[in-house]
Chain A
Amino acid sequence: MIFDSFEGFRTSGFKPRLIIIGSGPSGITVARKLGRAGIPVAIFEAGTAEYTEDSQAFYGGKALGDPYFDLDVTRLRYFGGSSNHWAGWCRVMDAEDFEPKAWVPDTGWPIRRTDIEPFLDEVHDILDLVPFRDDEPISDDIRWVQLIKSPAVRFSEKFGSEIAASKTIALVLDTYVTELQGDGTRITGAKVWSAGRDQGIATAECYVPCTGGLENSRLLLWSNERSNGGVVPHAEALGKYWMEHPQFEGGNAIMNNPDQFEMDAVSEAFFSPSRKAMERRRIMNFGIRFIKMPYHGAKWLVAELACLAPETAEWVSSELEGKLRCAAQLYVGWEQAPRADNRIVLSTSQRDNLGIPRIELHWSKSELEHRTLLEGVRLFGETLAAKNYGRVRIADWILNGDPYPTNQELAGNHHMGGTRMGEDLTRSVVDRNQKVHGMANLYVGGSSVFTTSGQCNPTTTIVALSARLGDHLVRVFGGTAMVK
């Protein structure tokens, strides 16, 4: 069932046992698990079926610290959520990413990769993925890894008709949950705004915010403030340990054999460190994106020259009335260390049209981030030279410790943390089953529960965790769990 507003939903008499907030990859994955098990569930989506500027404006906010994207651009507020603009890169976080790193505080999940592996077949079906090949070590330090460029499933397009035909899933559009209300042990209701007016309180047995890696924190921070701590009773870590995947050009390379590594469809190959290398250099995980420029013949020769003699190559290139870059570019995206001071807080000066405080995001990169970038390119270069695969040149700005360039990618638009998973009540918000500490009927879905970020794009892991959460909720609500 799909309703255009809360009024139609209320009139229908449908009684959900769970209310899921948000219809992105996490919310839809959890809802489909419950719906298929015969458990009635409602998804409240604040936006409508299509993008509108009015809806998107609710996502405005302020980022402080390092340069970051506009908060109303880096995510989408309508049916399907940010799956409507993701690029489709897929990889599940490494087993090592779930383990604690003794050299970095606050790392280590309460679950292991083996806890989500039973759900990976489902994830492949959901994201239309072909099987991943195993990582291939090319040295003791570096693994040749695989990221799959998937068809970038738009969840509204792929699952819209299934949800419309469902008798157990009610998708309710234009329904903004402005606040959850709680008494410190359980959520008692969700305050709803729809069709331009206050619709009162919606109730169910259980509530699952899946509004994304920024908005989950905002909703819970605001709800907790309004309920005097009745929504997140252990709120010390709420909004904190927020993470991104910084991404910058790290250098370039010349290769003995440009076809040394099998490239994907967009002429890219990916490399990550071994755990031993991370431990030895005391760095986080990283991914080097090796991009072979699509040059041939004379252009390839000039591009190779650009790697070694950039000024000469620039002259030649300008003479050719073209602009050629070094034949192989290295881009680095890396895991950001979880730090409590990277955080989401409620703005004290800016509110949305309904009076809810906007997000103030405090985000910066630390010395560890710079070391991970520098040592990452260095490790890759050492492997290429030692194996005689090629030679790497580290970008000047990294070697010199210059400020991060502002004209590059900056980050991945990957919003992680804020309601992180853990066992320590002062350093986490949800437990291993994604239930908010101390609350009987409040769970959180999506990348806000990431304890650490790993180095890879998060969607695949988000969907795997959400399938696991859905499976858990099916067991809690007495249905038949449906691990495929």
Chain B
Amino acid sequence: VEETVQKLSAIEAKRRMVLQALVCLPALALFDRHKMQVAEPAGEELVEIGGWILRKSELA
């Protein structure tokens, strides 16, 4: 019985993990815009905000 309970707990934990990750997706979208897939021309001014080193255009 104990083994079965453990298996069910593991399944439940995985299910919750997926659900919680899905909850995170909107938050991830907030910073996904920073992850530009196409390289931009070099030379853009960099700024430091809260320890993050960013391109100035990312502050808009």
Cβ-based interface call for A392 (8 A):
yes
B24, B25, B54 — most chain A CB neighbours (10 Å): B24
Given known contacts A301-B21, A378-B53, A394-B51, A386 and B36 CB-to-CB distance under 8 angstroms? no
Residue from A299, A305, A393 within 8 A of B51 (CB atoms): A393
Q: Shortest distance in angstroms between B33's beta carbon and chain A's nearest beta carbon?
A: 12
Question: Could you show 23 A-B contacts with beta carbons less than 8 Å apart?
Answer: A254-B35, A256-B36, A256-B37, A298-B17, A298-B18, A298-B21, A301-B21, A301-B28, A302-B20, A305-B27, A312-B24, A316-B21, A319-B16, A319-B20, A320-B17, A378-B53, A381-B53, A385-B53, A386-B42, A386-B46, A393-B52, A396-B51, A399-B51
Residue from A304, A384, A392 within 8 A of B28 (CB atoms): A304
Cβ-based interface call for B40 (8 A):
yes
Main SS of chain A's interface residues? helix
Residue from B13, B17, B18, B40 within 8 A of A388 (CB atoms): B40
Contact A391 B51 (CB under 8 A): no
Contact A320 B31 (CB under 8 A): no
Cβ-based interface call for A54 (8 A):
no
Interchain CA distance A395-B50 in the complex, whole Å: 9
Cβ-based interface call for A165 (8 A):
no
Cβ-based interface call for B59 (8 A):
no
Contact A302 B53 (CB under 8 A): no
Contact B51 A320 (CB under 8 A): no
Main SS of chain B's interface residues? mixed
Interchain CA distance A479-B50 in the complex, whole Å: 63
Cβ-based interface call for B5 (8 A):
no
Instruction: Write the residues of chain B forming the contact surface with A, with a CB cutoff of 8 angstroms.
Output: 13, 16-18, 20-21, 23-25, 27-28, 30-31, 34-37, 39-40, 42-44, 46, 48, 50-55
Instruction: Write the residues of chain A forming the contact surface with B, with a CB cutoff of 8 angstroms.
Output: 251, 254, 256, 297-299, 301-302, 304-305, 308-309, 312, 316, 319-321, 378, 381-382, 384-388, 391-396, 399
Q: Shortest distance in angstroms between A374's beta carbon and chain B's nearest beta carbon?
A: 11
Interchain CA distance A388-B52 in the complex, whole Å: 14
Interchain CA distance A392-B28 in the complex, whole Å: 17
Q: Shortest distance in angstroms between A390's beta carbon and chain B's nearest beta carbon?
A: 8
A299, A308, A385, A394 — most chain B CB neighbours (10 Å): A385
Q: Shortest distance in angstroms between B45's beta carbon and chain A's nearest beta carbon?
A: 10
Task: Rank and list the top 7 A-B pairs by shortest CB-CB distance, nearest first.
Answer: A381-B53, A298-B21, A394-B51, A393-B51, A393-B52, A388-B39, A320-B17
Residue from A256, A299, A387 within 8 A of B35 (CB atoms): A256
Contact A392 B31 (CB under 8 A): no
Interchain CA distance A18-B8 in the complex, whole Å: 70
Given known contacts A321-B13, A386-B42, A392 and B53 CB-to-CB distance under 8 angstroms? yes
Residues on the A chain within 8 Å of B46, using CB: 382, 385-386
Contact A301 B25 (CB under 8 A): yes
Interchain CA distance A301-B22 in the complex, whole Å: 9
Residues on the B chain within 8 Å of A387, using CB: 39, 42
Interchain CA distance A80-B24 in the complex, whole Å: 52
Q: Shortest distance in angstroms between B36's beta carbon and chain A's nearest beta carbon?
A: 6
Interchain CA distance A412-B24 in the complex, whole Å: 38
Task: Output the nearest chain B residue to A251 by Cβ-Cβ distance.
Answer: B51
Q: Shortest distance in angstroms between B47's beta carbon and chain A's nearest beta carbon?
A: 9
Interchain CA distance A386-B54 in the complex, whole Å: 9
Q: Shortest distance in angstroms between A388's beta carbon and chain B's nearest beta carbon?
A: 5
Residues on the A chain within 8 Å of B16, using CB: 319-320
Residues on the B chain within 8 Å of A381, using CB: 53
B16, B17, B46 — most chain A CB neighbours (10 Å): B17
Residue from A297, A312, A394 within 8 A of B27 (CB atoms): A312
Interchain CA distance A385-B40 in the complex, whole Å: 10
Given known contacts A386-B44, A394-B51, A320 and B13 CB-to-CB distance under 8 angstroms? yes
Residues on the A chain within 8 Å of B23, using CB: 316
Residues on the A chain within 8 Å of B48, using CB: 378, 394
Residues on the B chain within 8 Å of A399, using CB: 51
Task: Output the nearest chain A residue to B39 by Cβ-Cβ distance.
Answer: A388
Given known contacts A251-B51, A396-B51, A309 and B27 CB-to-CB distance under 8 angstroms? yes
Residues on the B chain within 8 Å of A396, using CB: 51
Q: Shortest distance in angstroms between B8's beta carbon and chain A's nearest beta carbon?
A: 15
Task: Output the nearest chain A residue to B31 by Cβ-Cβ distance.
Answer: A308
Residue from B17, B28, B37, B43 within 8 A of A305 (CB atoms): B28
Interchain CA distance A439-B45 in the complex, whole Å: 58
Residues on the B chain within 8 Å of A388, using CB: 36, 39-40
